[in-house]
Amino acid sequence: MSKIKVLVSGYTGRMGQAILQALKDHPTLEYIAGLDVNNMGDEAFNLVRKADVVIDFSSHDSHPLLTEACRAPKTPIVIGTTGLDDQQEVIIKDTAAEIPVVKSSNFSTGVNVLFALTKVATELLGDGYDPEIVEYHHRLKKDAPSGTAKSLAQVIATARQLSPEEAARHGRKGIVGARTKNEIGIHAVRGGTIVGKHDVIFAGPREVITLSHEAEDRAAFALGSLRAAEWIIGKAPGLYDMQDVLGLRQR
């Protein structure tokens, strides 16, 4: 049985290199080509046509062209690129109407279990517990807060029927007044070589509950993206995420 042909966009970056390492000797997936800023042009369209699936951990600058390249040959795409603006998010939704797309802020299995646990905790604890999110990443990470932190805030906001944009408090400074029950605190720490850590804190009356996940190696994210690449083959057009891939959506 032939292997699934994988094109990796952003293959020269930290995540791209982790994915290439994970693809070595993979039983069902085969790396055939990579894209970066040097060949993200007409060559991208030619390379995408040769692939069965694209895994994308590139930059927000090159993203519109990549999604366009995937549409014509109907090549499924797994998107891990973060820092996308509203217009790019619309492009992805439009693309998902024509081809299957898995988009996730974090491909780690553990983090996606954290999403599910955060939803359950929010629903069970109610608004008597104050949610705060603290995310930690390496000093070179360009966007803040992390995509994972935004997703965690979205989970909490949805469970509490809040607007994530209105509820979010990105750090606090000065005389900000007493905390309200409709706030979701989000705090970004940058330093050293931290791969990624996320704490979800629920501070209640006389007790604090903390849900925490820490990635020790980028291999955790890489393996999750490969799992998504296997899963997406043969799926109908649509916008999916790792909750779908892991079967957590129905739980």
Q: Any idea which residues carry the catalytic annotation?
A: 137, 141
Could you give the count of Cα atoms lying within 13 Å of 1 in the half-sphere of its Cβ? 5
Nearest-angstrom CA–CA distance, 77 and 80: 10
- What phi and psi, each to the nearest 5 degrees, are found at residue 245? -60, -40
Q: How many CB atoms lie within 10 A of CB 185?
A: 19
Give buried/exposed letters for 35-51 (b at 16+ CB in 10 A, else e). Answer: bbeeebeeebeebbeeb
Nearest-angstrom CA–CA distance, 112 and 152: 10
Nearest-angstrom CA–CA distance, 224 and 186: 25
Is residue 44 within 8 A of residue 66, CB to CB? The reply is yes
Nearest-angstrom CA–CA distance, 155 and 111: 13
Rounded to the nearest 5 percent, the helix, strand and coil shares of the chain are: 35, 25, 35
* The length of the chain, given as a count of residues: 251
Is residue 186 within 8 A of residue 149, CB to CB? The reply is yes
Is residue 106 within 8 A of residue 148, CB to CB? The reply is yes
